[in-house]
Amino acid sequence: MNNIIISVDKLNIAYNGIRILENISFDVATGDYIGIVGPNGSGKTTLVKTMVGIIKSSTGSIKYHNISPGEIGYLPQKSFKVDKTFPGKVREVVASGLLGKKRFPRYLSKKEWKNVDELLKKLKIEKLADKSIGNLSGGQQQRVLLARALVSQPKILFLDEPTSALDPKVRNEFYELLKEINLRENVTILFVSHDVGGIGKHTSKMLYLDRSLVFYGNYDEFCQSDKMTAYFGSISQHQFCWRHTHDH
Ligand SMILES: Nc1ncnc2c1ncn2[C@@H]1O[C@H](COP(=O)(O)OP(=O)(O)OP(=O)(O)O)[C@@H](O)[C@H]1O
């Protein structure tokens, strides 16, 4: 199929000789919004780090089709803990997402500042532009860091558990916002989360990892999958799919 943007093939990853991920194969299509889920220590962060090139795989391959490294955005897990004393203003923090590609002296053009301001509006954080990021709420900080990742207009965006510290309402708003970006800007999104039921309502596919790939398909299939029932036992699976079942 020619709308495949990433092909992961027979990936094996080990830390110090200890196998972490085993025989992972899947394709990502352009415009997918994929929830990467699984228990603690199942290898979700390791998979994402490998896909963005921070960790080298032991064997297997990851191929990007018609994508350059500058078109891949990544929000690592740790970026969401912003120190209260960090003095950066929202507009500057978002603009700093453009600096990586520049040579010294690293000035932004008027047009680039305009793009920054437009993005702030799009993510409904324009009123925060001159505030210090350290003083914002968790949900606001997230939008700022999302804006920072989006300002360079990536075609693919990886997010590693950015919602774990948020209350359910703000978390849901964040999923909705990503869905909008996914649909409107056609950004392909891969999102690591522990909130299987919450994210499942928004994603186009679920990837369930437990050192190997347990399940890959859409949320309906995930909720009805005999394989997942066998894996979880029916009670756990219904917990994840309860809201889904009652929404229909
Ligand atoms: N740098 C490292 N060196 C050695 N082992 C590591 C390293 N990073 C992670 N691991 C191990 O690899 C396994 C998978 O970790 P990983 O962080 O990818 O899982 P995860 O699914 O993202 O977990 P969580 O949901 O808790 O964030 C864990 O057993 C972890 O201890």
**pLDDT tens track, the chain, 248 positions:** 569 999 999 999 999 889 999 999 999 999 999 999 999 999 999 999 999 999 987 899 999 999 998 899 998 876 555 667 777 899 999 998 888 666 666 678 899 899 999 999 988 899 999 999 888 888 888 889 889 999 999 999 999 987 767 778 888 888 888 999 999 999 999 999 988 888 888 899 999 999 999 999 998 888 888 888 888 876 676 677 765 544 54
3-state secondary structure 170-227: HHHHHHHHHHHHHHHCCCEEEEECCCHHHHHCCCCEEEEEECEEEEEECHHHHHHCHH
- Structure ipTM over 0.90, yes or no: yes
Q: Is 77 exposed, middle or buried (0-12, 13-18, 19+ CB in 10 A)?
A: middle
Q: What are phi and psi of 140, to 5 degrees?
A: -70, -40
CA distance 28 to 233: 28
Helix (H) or strand (E) holding 72: strand 72-75
CA distance 189 to 205: 10
Residues 6+ apart with CB under 8 A from 224: none
- The residue to mutate among 12, 21, 36, 44, having the most atoms of ligand 1 within 8 angstroms of its beta carbon, is 44
Domains (ranges, CATH) in the chain?
4-223 (3.40.50.300)
**Furthest-apart CA atoms within the chain: distance in Å:** 59
43 lines ligand 1 (CB under 6 A): yes
CB contact at 8 A, 161 and 77: yes
pTM of the predicted model as reported, rounded to 2 decimal places: 0.89
CA distance 217 to 224: 11
Residue 93: helix, strand or coil by DSSP?
helix
Which atom of ligand 1 sits closest to the CA of residue 161?
Answer: 27
162 lines ligand 1 (CB under 6 A): no
207 lines ligand 1 (CB under 6 A): no
Residues 6+ apart with CB under 8 A from 211: 19, 20, 21, 22, 42, 43
CA distance 210 to 232: 12
Residue 117 corresponds to which tokens in the numbers above?
């301001």
Q: Which residue has the tokens 């699976």?
A: 237
195 lines ligand 1 (CB under 6 A): no
What residues does 124 pair with on adjacent strands? none
44 lines ligand 1 (CB under 6 A): yes
